[in-house]
Amino acid sequence: RNHPVLAGVVLGLGAAMKLYPLFFFGAILVLCWRTGRLRVFFASLAAGVTAWLAVNVPFMLTAFDQWSRFYTFSGDREVSFSSMWLAFTWTGWSGETFSLISNGLFALCCLGVAWLGLSARTRPRMAQLCLLIVAAFLLLGKVYSPQFVMWLIPLVVLARPDWRQFWIWQAAEAYHWGGVWMESARITSEGAFGGGAWWIPLWYGSGIVLHMAAVIWICVSVIRDIRRPEGDLVRQSAPAGLPPEQARTYDPSAGVLAVEPDRFLLPPAGRGPVRVV
C-alpha cells in the first residue's frame, strides 16, 4: 500500500496473467490526479509495464502468432454464455461489432467513474473505484464465465462490506451458476432432457438477469456511499484518534495518498475544473 512501484509490479504481473488487474491503474490515476500526485501514478504504471513486458516479451519474440492469438480471438469471437449481448444476437452482428460496442460503452463507463472520482465532495476509496471499473467491464463484456465472480468478491468485500448484501449477491450468483451448467448440459445432451427440458432455458435466462441485477445493485450502493460518505461502512469504522479530516477521508487502501489533501476537483458540469490547495 505504501510502495507504489512495488504495487505497480504486482499489478503488471497480474495483468500478464489476466487482463482485469490493468483496470486498477484507472483508479490509481483518478486518485493521484485528485491529490496532485501524478508522479506516483506514472511511477507505478512504469513499474507495471516493465513487469508485464518481462513476462510477455520472451513469448512475443519466440512465438508471436501463438502469443497474439488470445488478443485476436478475444476481438473476433462471438457473444458467449451469460453476456448481456445474447439478447441482441438476433441482429446478426459479428463478434467484431459486438466488441466495438461493448468496448465503447466500457470506455464511457470509465469516463463516468473518473468524473465521479473527481467530483465527489469526499474522496472515494481506492476499492470503490476499482470495483466500479471491473464490474462495468464484466457487465458490458461480450464474454462472461461464472468464475469471473472471483474477480469481484475481494473488491466487494473491500468496497462495501455489507454482509447481508454480499450473501444475497452470492445467492444470485449460485443460482446463475446452476443455470449456466444446466443449459450447457441441455445443449450437449440428446433425447427428452436435451430437447424437452423447457424449464432449463428459463432458469438460465432468469439467472443472467439476477446476476446482472445483483452486481448493478452493489454498484449503485457503492456510488451512493461515494456521494454520501457518512453511510460508508468502512469510514464509519475509522480508527479512533484520527484527526477529523483524516477520519472523513479514511481509506485503508490509499497508501501514500492517504494523508494527501485534494488539489484538483471537478465541480458540477458546466463550471469547469477547480484547483483546491
DSSP letter for each residue of 227-250: HSGGG-HHHHTPPTT--HHHHHT-
Helix (H) or strand (E) holding 267: none
190 pLDDT above the threshold of 80: no
3-state secondary structure of 197: coil
Grid coordinates representing 157? Answer: 468485500
- How confident is the model over 173-184, as pLDDT tens digits? 999 999 998 888
Question: Is 94 or 114 the better-scoring residue by pLDDT?
Answer: 114
Q: Between 225 and 237, whose confidence is greater? A: 225
pLDDT over 60 (residue 272): no
pTM: 0.91
In this structure, what C-alpha cell is assigned to residue 45? 504504471
d(CA 160, CA 173): 17
Nearest 5 degrees, angle CA 30-CA 36-CA 38? 65
User: What distances in angstroms separate CA 176 from CA 18, 180, 185, 237, one per listed residue?
Assistant: 23, 6, 14, 33
Mean pLDDT of 161-167: 96
pLDDT reported for residue 96? 84
- 3-state class (DSSP) for residue 253: coil
CA dist., res. 232 & res. 243, Å (int): 18
CB 241 within 8 A of CB 253: no
